[in-house]
Structure 1
């Protein structure tokens, strides 16, 4: 069920019987010369909508702008400050609890959001308001990602390229895939910016002139379909697990 498509009287039965919501999140930021700036939020929304369709759980509208200041040197990247993002996400989640939701899955497709969503979830749990957890699609299927790509890249690489080739192929600049590979770097390790155990980089451009990593020419829509199906299965299983838990069992343990 997609919340924004429903009239309010038709949502009453959902909130009477269910207490779980999916909140898709991504970013609007550079993804190299070949992918749209919408890459992350397109992936997050597609996965959340798929899981909602398969389970009947509620999917909210997508949060399209996240914590992306580390991509700010590239044209068009949008971002909010981390503190503003955390405050917004906590407020939005508390809004859902006003309707009876007490467990939330942040369906996230942007690495820059992870630590902040974890902090928000910890605050809400400590306050015993809601149990909110962050889920990252590629981290749910790491073996498949490694099997499909020799150089999967942490950003704008073949795994994201394959997903967009599957979901929104008209948005991929196929004629720029070799450029993306040849003007980027294979990996963060290859960038040589980890010095004596210290991550000396702060921004994406510190590692890669074009902002992306890996071999984008290794991406196909068929591989994207495999990734999407496998990640969707993981998200559905997470929904089913979380829905089965007693809320009291999700709250912090008592002091020893």
Structure 2
């Protein structure tokens, strides 16, 4: 059930039977000249709502703006400071806890959110409020991603292009070659690290147009393959998490002193 479409009595009926919620989280940031600023939250919401429909899960409205300072030089990119984002996501999650939810899956589609969502999960776990995990769609199907694309790229490449093509048909097809030629196609050949140190902070330092990988290798058909495989992974995760007894998920007690064990 998509919470935004429900009345409060309808929501109450569902919450009375459900302890898990999926929370789609994305960003509003540049994705090269060929993809919309909405790319990440389009993907996150598409996967979360499909999984919710297919497995009768509770899906919240989407968090559309995340932590994106590394794309700030490009027009239209929006971002919130990391501490603000963490506090907001924790507060949102605790409002779900108040409604009876004690398991949360953050359906994430933006790399800049990962560590912050994991920190929120730790906060909620420490005081036994909820068991919350961050789930990144492409990390659930790495073999398929590698099989489909020769030059994938971590951002605005063929995997995201294919997903958006399948979900929303918002790809600017006439800009695909420009995205490839003006971006960074071969990630492994780029001098992004030296002696174990990362040498960049912003995406523009490596790609003039903000695109990485070869988006000309994308297609809606490949996007459908990615979408279906990732959606299946998400449903399996939620089904497993929902079935776990709270005793195995909550924080463990402090270890007893050795003298108490004798």
TM range (shorter): over 0.9
Question: Once the two structures are superposed, what CA deviation does each residue of 1:204-226 show, in whole Å capped at 9, x if it has no partner?
Answer: 11111111111110001000000
| Matching residue of 1:98 | 98
Paired residue total? 255
Residue pair 1:67, 1:79 contacting (<8 A) in 2 also: yes
Q: Secondary structure at the match of 1:151?
A: coil
| Matching residue of 1:58 | 58
Q: How far off is 1:187 after superposition? A: 4.1
Q: Secondary structure at the match of 1:163?
A: helix
- Rounded Cα–Cα distance in structure 1 between residues aligned with 2:239 and 2:184: 39
Q: How far off is 1:253 after superposition? A: 2.4
| Matching residue of 1:183 | 182
Residue pair 1:188, 1:207 contacting (<8 A) in 2 also: no
Which has the higher Rg, Structure 1 or Structure 2?
A: 2
- Rounded Cα–Cα distance in structure 1 between residues aligned with 2:55 and 2:108: 18
| Matching residue of 2:225 | 226
Matches for 1:120-135 after TM superposition, within 5 Å = 120-135=120-135
- Rounded Cα–Cα distance in structure 1 between residues aligned with 2:186 and 2:31: 15
- Rounded Cα–Cα distance in structure 2 between residues aligned with 1:226 and 1:4: 28
| Matching residue of 1:151 | 151
- Rounded Cα–Cα distance in structure 2 between residues aligned with 1:60 and 1:154: 27
| Matching residue of 1:15 | 15
- Rounded Cα–Cα distance in structure 1 between residues aligned with 2:219 and 2:150: 14
Residue pair 2:34, 2:175 contacting (<8 A) in 1 also: yes
Q: Secondary structure at the match of 2:134?
A: strand
Residue pair 1:50, 1:232 contacting (<8 A) in 2 also: yes
Give the alignment's TM-score, normalised by structure 1: 0.98
Q: How far off is 1:69 after superposition? A: 0.6
- Rounded Cα–Cα distance in structure 2 between residues aligned with 1:8 and 1:130: 22
| Matching residue of 1:115 | 115
Residue pair 1:154, 1:187 contacting (<8 A) in 2 also: no
Q: How far off is 1:14 after superposition? A: 1.3
1:30 aligns with 2:30: yes
Residue pair 1:191, 1:208 contacting (<8 A) in 2 also: no
- Rounded Cα–Cα distance in structure 1 between residues aligned with 2:128 and 2:44: 27
- Rounded Cα–Cα distance in structure 2 between residues aligned with 1:56 and 1:21: 10
10-19 vs 152-161, greater mean Cα deviation: 10-19
| Matching residue of 2:254 | 255
- Rounded Cα–Cα distance in structure 2 between residues aligned with 1:222 and 1:209: 29
Residue pair 2:25, 2:64 contacting (<8 A) in 1 also: yes
Question: Once the two structures are superposed, what CA deviation does each residue of 1:36-79 show, in whole Å capped at 9, x if it has no partner?
Answer: 00000000000000000011110000000000011000000000
Residue pair 2:31, 2:211 contacting (<8 A) in 1 also: yes
- Rounded Cα–Cα distance in structure 2 between residues aligned with 1:212 and 1:191: 13
- Rounded Cα–Cα distance in structure 2 between residues aligned with 1:130 and 1:100: 10
Residue pair 1:103, 1:131 contacting (<8 A) in 2 also: yes
**Unpaired stretches in structure 1, ≥5 consecutive residues:** none
Q: Supply the RMSD in Å over aligned alpha carbons.
A: 0.8
